[in-house]
């Protein structure tokens, strides 16, 4: 099971990223745990300066802007 965190303060892009990850995981039949990190000091611990950021299994894989479906699919 993939552990995925979306880093962001709650902007529309962050919410859309969460929704898109859920959709792609469901389409691929991949089990994930998805959490949202909105605490700024916690986000800074990952070194992400532009949101949304995405962390998969403890590794930052994306920062800034909504990732496309192909990119999300490659993480899964």
Strands 32-37, 59-63: pairing is: unpaired
Sequence-separated (6 or more) residues with CB below 8 Å from residue 75: 2, 4, 54, 56, 61
| Sequence-ordered alpha helix ranges (H) in the chain | 12-28, 40-45, 69-75
Annotated catalytic residue, options 4, 6, 7, 14: 14
Active-site entry in 11, 12, 40, 44: 11
11 is an active site residue: yes
Catalytic machinery residues? 11, 14
């Amino acid at each position: 099971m993939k552990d995925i965190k979306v880093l962001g303060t709650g902007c529309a892009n962050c919410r859309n990223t969460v929704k898109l990850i859920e959709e792609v995981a469901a389409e691929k039949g991949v089990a994930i745990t998805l959490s949202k990190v909105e605490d700024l000091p916690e986000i800074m611990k990952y070194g992400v300066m532009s949101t949304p950021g995405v962390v998969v299994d403890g590794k930052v894989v994306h920062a800034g802007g909504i990732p496309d479906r192909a990119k999300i699919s490659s993480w899964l």
